[in-house]
Structure 1
Amino acid sequence: MSGTWTEHFVQSLSHWGTCTKESAANKKPKKLRNISCLRIRYTIAAFGAEGANSADLRWRQRLENLQRALGQLKAALEAHNACINDEVIGMAVVKAYEFSFELSWKTLKDLLSYEGIDAQLPREVLRQAFSYGLLKNGQLWIDMLEQRNLMAHTYDQARANQALMLIRETFAPELLQLAAELEKRP
């Protein structure tokens, strides 16, 4: 069969909806609806393993990307420590943080999806990850999200310096800890 398991599931689901509407309108026996239910069960059984593997693969690939981004963040922080007054390196640290944070919440989103939990927006993903024990300090992650949003509109050097301090002392260690914890997952 061609297509992904989700495409087949959606096709079966839409077919099931059509059959139930037709059977209700024509007062056909329930048997037609039961056949459609079996079709959905078959679709899940036939393609569920592929879907589970692709969801597992997706969050693991995202984790690899996160680890590479965190490597860049560490390198930017080291360069900034060597040249503390260099604004260009400071901007590189901020951008590396923004990129790493973005990959962090998206990795969590993919992992939650793999676990069967639907969360789409960053704040929602962070709350769900905290409630399921993937994050230890939920409020810190909300603060990181808010700071990331503020950094995109920071033009004041004093605020930029404050952001750099937060990244160096608080946010980067938290991102690294998350990556280490996710790496341990089976």
Structure 2
Amino acid sequence: MMDDDLDIRWKQRFQNFEKSLKLLEGALAVRSPDIYQRAGMIQFFETTFELSWKMMKDYFEAEGFSDVKSPRAAIKQGFESGLLQEGHAWMELLKDRNLTAHTYDEETAEKVEKLIEGKYIPIIRDLHETFKKLNDA
């Protein structure tokens, strides 16, 4: 694949990440969500995370890295390269995303909702700002 294609791929992924983040933010704006609204918010969270690590993977491939094949590897490389400031928080986000992907109960959903609002949305927004600057450069 040509380098231009790799460069375009992360930019396309960024556009999808940005749309997903807006949907997640909209879902988080719902006060006292019911079980269906909370499930939707968690789905937006999962999608936004998937797009975030794949966007980083695509970016690193465009930069010449070939060993970023998993969410954990993307987070590690993102932290090492300075794209991510909160490496430990991203690893916790990965752990909680894996939990929500394989288990659904209301208690877990409420716990994850609070984590998304208080801890994870700020670091996802930071990543968005970082990639927005890269995309605009």
Q: TM-score, normalised to structure 2's length?
A: 0.93
Q: How many residues align?
A: 134
**Alignment partner of 1:88 is 2:36:** yes
Given the alignment of the two structures, is residue 57 of structure 1 paired with residue 5 of structure 2, yes or no?
A: no
Give 1:85 shift.
4.4
- Structure 2: any 5+ residue segments left out of the alignment? none
CA distance in 1, matches of 2:22, 2:132: 15
Letter paired with 1:148: R
Q: 1:124 pairs with 73, 84, 92, which one? A: 73
CA drift at 1:154: 2.6
Which stretches of structure 1, 4 residues or more, deviate above 4 A after TM superposition? none
**Following TM superposition, by how much is the alpha carbon of 1:117 offset from its aligned partner in structure 2, in angstroms?**
1.1
Q: Which structure's CA Rg is the greater one?
A: 1
User: Residue in 2 aligned with 1:73?
Assistant: 24
TM-fit CA distance, 1:156: 2.7
The residue identity in structure 1 corresponding to 2:41 is: V
The offset of 1:129, in angstroms, is: 1.1
Q: TM-score, normalised by structure 1?
A: 0.69
Is 2:106 the partner of 1:157? Answer: yes
More relative contact order, 1 or 2 (CA 8 Å, 6+ apart) = 2
**Alignment-mate amino acid for residue 180 of structure 1:** E
Letter in 1 for 2:56: L
Aligned alpha-carbon RMSD (Å) = 1.1
Report % sequence identity: 34
Runs (5+) with no aligned partner, structure 1: 1-5, 7-50
